[in-house]
Amino acid sequence: MSHASAAPFTRAGILTGIRLSLPLWPSIAVFGAAFGAAAAQRGLTLAEAAGASALVYAGSAQMVTLEVWGRPWTVSALLAAMTVTGLINARMILMGATIQPWMRGTPLWRTAMTLFVLVDASWLIGVRHRSEGGRDLGVLFGAGIGLWPLWVASTMAGHLAGALVTQPRAYALDMILPVFFAAMLAPLWRGVRPALPWLASGLVALLVQRLVPGYAFIAAGAAAGLVTGLLVDDGAAR
């Protein structure tokens, strides 16, 4: 590294990060409201839904763990939920790996705090800031902390709205989770070859769903996708 000293962490950087996150606010709010509504359908209280958003702060993982949410919780249900959460958030390992050089020399508490609010959107904003020659860690922190109150507030709004509906099936609210996931596929699409692991994942998930009770099919499908991704060249130039 050419920079011997720790990266700066300025107030101006934090404000820049928040400003750069503004275009994402509508989609984060919709996602948060969808999680809140789905959580209400799953029987989470308002405080539990808001608590999950505030402490976990990882939308896709929160959504999928709703599918395996314990009613009531048992040790095996908890282990299943933790496995699913770990699998979904495994991409954060990659995200963390890419920003590690940026954090070299930064005080531990500041690194820990910045990592707590690291989400896909803030990571993208931070990576762009870096590629444009910036190195203010405040930008990465600001983008993450700026979206956090919105995420919690929209979760609560979605929960309140979702709990009002007395006939969720008639409005298809029980389907909000799979529908939202289907919508998320479009922005992830990078062509047929990178989607081969998805195909493997879908087939394995359907098969395991037939054979094994419970929600093991999510982890099984994801594992099949991971292995396919390891084995098959996705053609990405990296």
Partner 1 sequence: MIDALLAGPAGPWIAILALALVTYLCRASGVVLMSRVRLTPRVERGLRALPGSIVVATALPTGLSAGLPGLMGLAAAAAVMALTRFELAAVLAGLGVVAAGRALGL
Q: With binding defined as CB under 8 A, does residue 197 bind partner 1?
A: yes
Q: With binding defined as CB under 8 A, does residue 185 bind partner 1?
A: yes
d(CA 134, CA 105): 16
Q: With binding defined as CB under 8 A, does residue 89 bind partner 1?
A: yes
The answer to whether the beta carbons of residues 148 and 18 sit under 8 Å apart is no
Q: Contacts with partner 1 in 152-171 (CB under 8 A)?
A: 169-171
- Whose Cβ is closer to partner 1: residue 12's or residue 73's? 73
Among 12, 22, 179, 211, contact with partner 1 (rule: CB under 8 A): 179
Range in contact with partner 1 (rule: CB under 8 A) among 7-15, 77-85, 126-134, 154-162: 77-85
Least spacing, CB of residue 106 vs partner 1, in Å: 10
Amino acid (one-letter) located at 111: T
- Whose Cβ is closer to partner 1: residue 16's or residue 65's? 65
Q: With binding defined as CB under 8 A, does residue 52 bind partner 1?
A: yes
Q: With binding defined as CB under 8 A, does residue 46 bind partner 1?
A: no
- Whose Cβ is closer to partner 1: residue 4's or residue 170's? 170
Least spacing, CB of residue 148 vs partner 1, in Å: 13
Q: With binding defined as CB under 8 A, does residue 214 bind partner 1?
A: no
Q: With binding defined as CB under 8 A, does residue 227 bind partner 1?
A: yes
Range in contact with partner 1 (rule: CB under 8 A) among 13-21, 108-116, 131-139, 147-155: 108-116
Q: Which phi-psi region, left, alpha or beta, contains residue 210 (left: φ > 0; alpha: ψ -120 to 50)?
A: alpha
Q: How many residues bind partner 1 (CB under 8 A)?
A: 105
Q: With binding defined as CB under 8 A, does residue 192 bind partner 1?
A: no
CB atoms within 10 A of CB 113: 14
Q: With binding defined as CB under 8 A, does residue 122 bind partner 1?
A: no
